[in-house]
Structure 1
Amino acid sequence: MAFEISGDYGFVALICVLTLVFNMWMSVSVVKARKKYNVPYPALYAVESENKEAKMFNCVQRGHQNFLEFLPFFLANLLLGGLKHPLLAAGLGFGYIVARYFYFKGYSTGVPSNRMKLGGSHFLFYFGLVGCTVSLSISLIASR
Structure 2
Amino acid sequence: MTTATLALPSDYGYVCLVLFATVLIHHFYMSFSVGAARKKYNVKYPLLYANGDDEASKTFNCIQRAHQQSLENLPQFLAFLLLAGLKFPIYASIAGVVYLLGRIVYFAGYSTGDPNKRLRGAFMYFGLLFLYGAVVFMGVQLLRNGY
When normalised by structure 2's length, the TM-score is 0.91
Aligned to 1:44: 48
Aligned to 1:90: 93
Q: State the distance in 1 between where 2:73 and 2:21 align.
A: 16
Decide which of 107, 111, 114 is 1:108's aligned counterpart: 111
CA offset at residue 143 of structure 1? 2.2
Q: State the distance in 2 between where 1:52 and 1:139 align.
A: 52
Q: Which runs of no fewer than 5 residues in structure 1 stay unpaired?
A: none
CA offset at residue 90 of structure 1? 0.2
What is the letter of the counterpart of residue 31 of structure 2?
S
Shift >2 Å, 4+ stretches:
none
Q: Does 1:65 align with 2:68?
A: yes
CA offset at residue 43 of structure 1? 0.3
Aligned to 2:142: 140
Cα pair 1:96 1:126 within 8 Å, conserved: yes
Q: State the distance in 2 between where 1:76 and 1:22 align.
A: 17
Q: State the distance in 2 between where 1:3 and 1:65 align.
A: 34
Q: Which runs of no fewer than 5 residues in structure 2 stay unpaired?
A: none
Aligned to 2:102: 99
Alignment of 1:12-27 (within 5 A): 12-24=15-27, 25-27=29-31
Aligned CA-pair RMSD: 1.5
When normalised by structure 1's length, the TM-score is 0.93
- Structure 1 residues 52, 95: closer, same or farther in 2, change over 3 A? closer
Q: State the distance in 2 between where 1:59 and 1:125 align.
A: 24
Aligned to 1:120: 122
Q: Does 1:130 align with 2:136?
A: no
Q: State the distance in 1 between where 2:73 and 2:103 align.
A: 11
CA offset at residue 123 of structure 1? 1.2
